Chains A and B, each alone.
Chain A
Amino acid sequence: MPVAIQCHDLRKTYDGKVEAVSGLNLEIETGECFGLLGPNGAGKTTTIEILEGLLEPTSGKVTILGHDWQTNARELREWLGISLQETRLSEKLTVRETIELFSSFYREPRSSDDVLADLQLNEKADAWVGKLSGGQRQRLAVATALVGNPKILFLDEPTTGLDPQSRRQLWDIIRTFQKAGGTVLLTTHYMDEAERLCDRLAIIDHGQLIAEGTPSDLIDRLGGHHVVEFSVTGNSDAAALDGWRALPGVDSVRHDDGLVCLNVREPHRTIPALLDAVHNQGSKLLHLNTRQASLEDVFVRLTGRHLRED
């Protein structure tokens, strides 16, 4: 597979002090849906805008479809479809007028009617942008990115603030684009979105890559695929944590929000042992829950923090 997006040792320092991106290497293949995942301020927008040629990196090299921004900007613009984290399109234009405006910039755009239909904006075609709901605005933003018939789609937090149904609609649109051969780079801080939509992920924090791979890879790397969360009466200090780690089948242990979290490989071996241990201690079990490990657990494991602090 040829490489669609590549960057090497990317760095960006704002005003000589804030280091938003520090030494990032990425390689995204054609036809892939690649996700940049990270908490607020991780440097996702900075990274994606450098790749989009909208921001100068402090240092580092960017190659898009084999070209770079210094020599081939005009061609590259024809091939990319971009939706920024926040753009307020003109409120007094209709949806159709907005799409036609953006399509007029490209040499060979898609027909506006097709794009309207694909994004389910038909009914709203003649409504002013100012009268759209948040979800409709997001879809319109993606429509303006798709109308140029791009090879690569860049989406910066396309689903933030949307209800679950609107998010799924957008996921469908992105998958359709990908099925037709397009490459997608998106940023998100929704774990479930990354897990379902992306072929590969890069988790970044403080401008640095802390893990990269397919969603299942990343979860595999945790060791245990299952998480057992519980709380008991009595002490919960570090010594107690060591006690839990000694239980059979436990990969790792941590405290999370008043609960003890165990990453386990075989819950059917761990849970009976856990119950016995609690009983022998003479304490009581207040809460017990088991679930599949998720990217959230990966993130917490890697950084000691949650992805979304809300």
Chain B
Amino acid sequence: MTVSQQTPPTEHHVIPTPPKRRNGRWSGFAHLLMARMKELKREPEVIFWVFIFPLLLALGLGIAFRNKPADVTSIAIVAGPGADKAMSLLEPRKSSIHAEVLDQSLALQGFRLGKYDLVVEPDANIGFRYHYDPARPESVLSRAEVDAALQAAAGRKDPLPTSAVTSTEPGSRYIDFLIPGLLGMNLMNSGMWGIGFALVDMRQRKLLKRFVATPMRRSDFLMALTSSRLVLMIIEVALLLGFGVLVFHMRVLGSILTILLLGAIGAVAFGGLGLLTASRAQKIESVSGLINLVMMPMWIFSGVFFSYERFPAIVHPLIRALPLTALNDALRATILQGASLASQSGRLLVLVLWGGISFVLALRWFRWT
């Protein structure tokens, strides 16, 4: 064996002189944010619930409640003398009034079941009697329309000449009402789950405890979590508004910057609420219940799917004090009417108070272990 073939014995665990690497002030924050974004990206459920589900909701509801041309009204004419006359008088309006001749009992039964909006019964002296339901809007409309048609056909002359122009403006349709509401609801959902649930999950996995066993700054951790929400918020806003504009030709009147600012305030406010719900819970089951409990009233009252004006006026101030109502109202005013932030200071105040108070309480109660 020649000398050159001998390999010098390799020292295995020579104490390595650790290459000096210094981390800057924001290294922890940056890595926490990056890790959080990667985790979210790799979680298909998150992608679905945060991004896809609201679009599906918008699509489904937008189609179901699209504005249709006024319906053809269905009416029943009670058989007997005069029925033929009524049919012939209504003949010119066939396209909007669908009439059938029936026995009185059948006609009234159909009316009760909602099959007919109106029952027309010829009376003894060549006139007609209407059976209609003043609590059913379509019944009221039908009566007015049929009456006008009969009178005109019988020779009534209108003393005042009138004409009408029809229009279906973007901005006043159901989908225009719906999209800002869905956006608000989505910001609430993902704020509460993305912060509240995520934190309790990490606590249950003892990951929070593991983190505080390092020199990690706790404020960096909370800031990173909040920042990840803001990044997602931008995507949520862009997707839902983009979808509304492209698919439903929605018109966005407010400036994008104002909308994003509002989105940020909403996301942070609900993040604070999420933090509060997560401050003590040890198990994801208990925090899930808590989150649903907090969100439930807002799904119903805050005007996501229908206007809260439908509730009695006496509870309106209470409803307006809910954070989701404030966010939805502000988003609608900005997106649909181009309102500025300054003109909505009341709503902003509601959001800031909810977010701020929750945050302060949460920090006081929060358990890392």
**Complex contact A109–B38 (CB within 8 A):** no
CB-nearest residue of chain B relative to A82?
A: B213
**Complex contact B213–A54 (CB within 8 A):** yes
| From A93, A104, A106, residue with most partner B Cβ within 10 Å | A104
Whether B31 is near chain A, meaning CB under 8 Å from some CB there, is yes
**Complex contact A88–B207 (CB within 8 A):** yes
Once bound together, how far apart are the Cα atoms of A92 and B47, in whole Å?
14
Whether B109 is near chain A, meaning CB under 8 Å from some CB there, is no
A84 contacts which of B15, B31, B210 (Cβ < 8 Å)? B210
A101 contacts which of B15, B16, B32 (Cβ < 8 Å)? B32
**Complex contact A82–B31 (CB within 8 A):** no
Once bound together, how far apart are the Cα atoms of A106 and B215, in whole Å?
6
Once bound together, how far apart are the Cα atoms of A105 and B21, in whole Å?
12
Whether A208 is near chain B, meaning CB under 8 Å from some CB there, is no
**Complex contact B205–A87 (CB within 8 A):** yes
**Complex contact B15–A179 (CB within 8 A):** yes
- Interface residues in A141-186 (C-beta closer than 8 Å to B): 144, 148-149, 176, 179-181
Nearest Cβ in chain A — how far from B127, in angstroms? Answer: 77
CB-nearest residue of chain A relative to B22?
A: A108
Whether A111 is near chain B, meaning CB under 8 Å from some CB there, is yes
The answer to whether residues A54 and B215 also contact, given A88-B205, A93-B35, A104-B31 and a CB cut-off of 8 A, is: no
Whether B209 is near chain A, meaning CB under 8 Å from some CB there, is yes
**Complex contact B39–A179 (CB within 8 A):** no
Whether B212 is near chain A, meaning CB under 8 Å from some CB there, is yes
The answer to whether residues A86 and B32 also contact, given A93-B38, A114-B18 and a CB cut-off of 8 A, is: no
The answer to whether residues A179 and B13 also contact, given A77-B214, A84-B206, A88-B205 and a CB cut-off of 8 A, is: yes
CB neighbours (8 Å) of B42 from chain A are 92, 128
**Complex contact B213–A52 (CB within 8 A):** yes
Whether A193 is near chain B, meaning CB under 8 Å from some CB there, is no
CB neighbours (8 Å) of A77 from chain B are 213-215
Whether B310 is near chain A, meaning CB under 8 Å from some CB there, is no
Whether B23 is near chain A, meaning CB under 8 Å from some CB there, is yes
Interface of B is mostly: loop
- Interface residues in A72-104 (C-beta closer than 8 Å to B): 74, 77-78, 80, 82, 84, 86-90, 92-93, 97, 100-104
Interface bin, chain B: 20 to 34
- Interface residues in A234-248 (C-beta closer than 8 Å to B): none
Per-residue interface assignment for chain B, residues 1 to 40, with 1 indicating a CB less than 8 Å from any chain A CB and 0 otherwise: 0000000000001011011111100011011100100110
Whether A137 is near chain B, meaning CB under 8 Å from some CB there, is no
CB neighbours (8 Å) of B235 from chain A are none
Whether B169 is near chain A, meaning CB under 8 Å from some CB there, is no
B31 contacts which of A87, A100, A181 (Cβ < 8 Å)? A100
Once bound together, how far apart are the Cα atoms of A93 and B43, in whole Å?
11
The answer to whether residues A90 and B23 also contact, given A102-B214, A105-B214, A180-B15 and a CB cut-off of 8 A, is: no
Whether B96 is near chain A, meaning CB under 8 Å from some CB there, is no
Whether B227 is near chain A, meaning CB under 8 Å from some CB there, is no
Once bound together, how far apart are the Cα atoms of A180 and B12, in whole Å?
13
CB neighbours (8 Å) of B57 from chain A are none
Whether B295 is near chain A, meaning CB under 8 Å from some CB there, is no
CB neighbours (8 Å) of A144 from chain B are 210
Whether A55 is near chain B, meaning CB under 8 Å from some CB there, is yes
CB neighbours (8 Å) of B209 from chain A are 54, 84, 87
Given contacts A77-B215, A93-B38, A105-B27, 4 further A-B contacts (CB under 8 A): A104-B30, A106-B23, A106-B214, A110-B21
| Residues in B lying within 8 Å of A, measured CB to CB | 13, 15-16, 18-23, 27-28, 30-32, 35, 38-39, 42-43, 205-207, 209-216, 369
| Residues in A lying within 8 Å of B, measured CB to CB | 52-55, 74, 77-78, 80, 82, 84, 86-90, 92-93, 97, 100-111, 114, 128, 144, 148-149, 176, 179-181
